[in-house]
Amino acid sequence: MASEDEEFTMLFQDFYPSLCRFLECLLGGRAPLAQDLAQESFLQLHRTAWGTLPVGEARFWLYRVARNMAINEFRKSHTRYRLFDRVVETMRPRARNPEQEYETQERKTLVLEMLQTLPEDQRTALLLREQEQLSYREIGQVLNVSESKVKVDIFRARASLRERWTRKSGYSAV
Amino acid sequence: MTCSFTEKISSLIDGELSTAEAREVERHLIGCNECQQIRADFLNLRSQIAGFETSLAPAVQNRALKKLLATPRRAPARGFAWSFGTQAAAFATLVIVAAIIGFLIYKSSNTPTTDKHLAVQTPTPVPAASVEQKQPEAEASPSPNKGNEETAPRRSPSPAPKKPLAREPKPGEQFAAIPSTPDPVRPADTQTMTALHFEKSETLLVAFRNVRLNEPGTTAEVAYERKRAQQLVLQNMMLRREADASGDVQLSSLLENLEPILIDISNLPDKPDKNAIRVIRERVERKNIVPLLRVNSTALARALD
């Protein structure tokens, strides 16, 4: 039991931050909600599937469950930012110096805005590729779609982002 | 993006091309300025997205882990190392009781069925009105029940003459039986199902539109789309009937337009002719189905919210 908990702790330490990041990008920056959903995904894994899933599968399982939760969340509230989230986000303590913080925040906002212009399936596929470095086959496994659809979705997402990014002057060489 | 290699550049930076293909694209890149720029842009995008920092504080992470480890784990089904608590015992008893009741119902509903069935079958040519007259009698006894097929005979095994009609309608009786026992319609459920159906169909049609015709792997890709189409055809028929019954002309006509396309895709052979695929694609484009599906699924989802 102790070793199972240790394994779970290791998995949690490895993937909880990246799952939070994935959800944050997917949800358009609602960090507290993203953290809640990531925790809920791990909770489901711990309660139900841990011990029955092969360790290599647990990661895909987590992303699949987290994505479904995010989709449910979209359906519930669309893209409306809940007041509570905004308050928490505003009150969050910021440790870095203000200039650095401002720059990071600007870049984050831009990335999030761009990502929000993509359809959900393209956004998820692109995030799993760029942030989690999953292969097309693995992404197909998570999203339950064919590899060719993943390939097309990722290409379309990139092409569309590139076009938008080009219009925004002064941010990159794109 | 005018160059035909642009899509391959996306796969190239993901390391998803075969060695030969990758070499070919690399060679092309040397002479194509547009593709060089696209690769640089895609890589730049990657660094922007991958460099996104989460707003997660370490303290929050530790708190979350502690909370998780403190929650009791539901024991997974591993061999027989299952501890029988009171809840498990109660559940098992419930299952056994339900099974026994189910068996008894099944038995009791089977024996009288043959007699009743014959009794109703004899006046087969009787018009709809006369069969409808019989229904109130049958409906009267299990009144609070919502016409559930399994539960109706449990309450009163003897006065159940309409059950055989509901189970296996004869050609003459079918017309009379359907309006007399209307299924409980749940608009919200139907709407959800329709919205999901539209979403799935849209995904399928988009995937079908993207099937590559110039590559040797074409058949394998179509096999996937064909399988999806086969799954969707039945649901489409069901939803179309419901839309017809509820008088929703718009939904019904969209489903009616979608149905032959799904059938055509599901009937594609193992090695489909390129022209056959093109013909279906053209039809999809001509009928403008993909945008219509998107608009309708969004509208339905909004209505549900």
Q: Which amino acid is at B176?
A: A
Among the listed residues B17, B89, B151, the one whose alpha carbon sits nearest the alpha carbon of residue B7: B17
Say if A131 is an interface residue toward chain B (CB within 8 Å).
yes
> Mind spelling out the 3-state secondary structure of chain B?
CCCCCHHHHHHHHCCCCCHHHHHHHHHHHHHCHHHHHHHHHHHHHHHHHHCCCCCCCHHHHHHHHHHHHHCCCCCCCCCCCCCCCHHHHHHHHHHHHHHHHHHHHHHHHHHHHHHHHHHHHCCCCCCHHHHHHHHHHHHHCCCCCCCCCCCHHHHCCCCCCCHHHHHCCCHHHHHHHHHHCCCCCCHHHHHHHHHHHHHHHHHHHHHHHCCCCCCCCHHHHHHHHHHHHHHHHHHHHHHHHHHHHHCCHHHHHHHHHHHHHHHHHHCCCCCCCHHHHHHHHHHHHHHCHHHHHHHHHHHHHHHHC
End-to-end CA distance of chain B: 39
CA closest to A47 among chain B residues: B73
By Cβ distance, the residue of A39, A47, A129 closest to B74 is A47
The confidence score (pLDDT) of residue B75 equals 54
Lowest mean pLDDT among A46-60, B42-56, B127-141: B127-141
The 3-state DSSP class for residue A119 equals coil
Say if B214 is an interface residue toward chain A (CB within 8 Å).
no
CA closest to A18 among chain B residues: B54
Say if A102 is an interface residue toward chain B (CB within 8 Å).
no
By Cβ distance, the residue of A110, A127, A146 closest to B221 is A146
Most B CBs within 10 Å, among A25, A79, A152, to test the B interface: A152
CB contact under 8 A, B51 and A107: yes
The confidence score (pLDDT) of residue B205 equals 86
The predicted complex's ipTM stands at: 0.79
The confidence score (pLDDT) of residue B16 equals 92
The model's pTM: 0.47
Inform me whether the pLDDT recorded for A147 exceeds 90.
yes
Say if A156 is an interface residue toward chain B (CB within 8 Å).
no
φ/ψ region of B258 (left if φ > 0, alpha if ψ in -120 to 50, else beta) reads alpha
The confidence score (pLDDT) of residue B148 equals 41
Are A16 and A42 a contacting pair, CB within 8 Å?
A: yes
CA closest to A92 among chain B residues: B55
pLDDT per residue as tens digits for the range B155-194: 444 444 444 344 444 444 444 344 444 444 445 677 778 8
By Cβ distance, the residue of B53, B64, B73 closest to A47 is B73
Domain assignments of chain B as residue spans, ordered by start: 6-47, 109-180, 187-304
Say if A105 is an interface residue toward chain B (CB within 8 Å).
no
Arithmetic mean of pLDDT, A62-90: 70
Are B195 and B185 a contacting pair, CB within 8 Å?
A: no
Domains of chain A: 1-92 (no CATH), 101-174 (1.10.10.10)
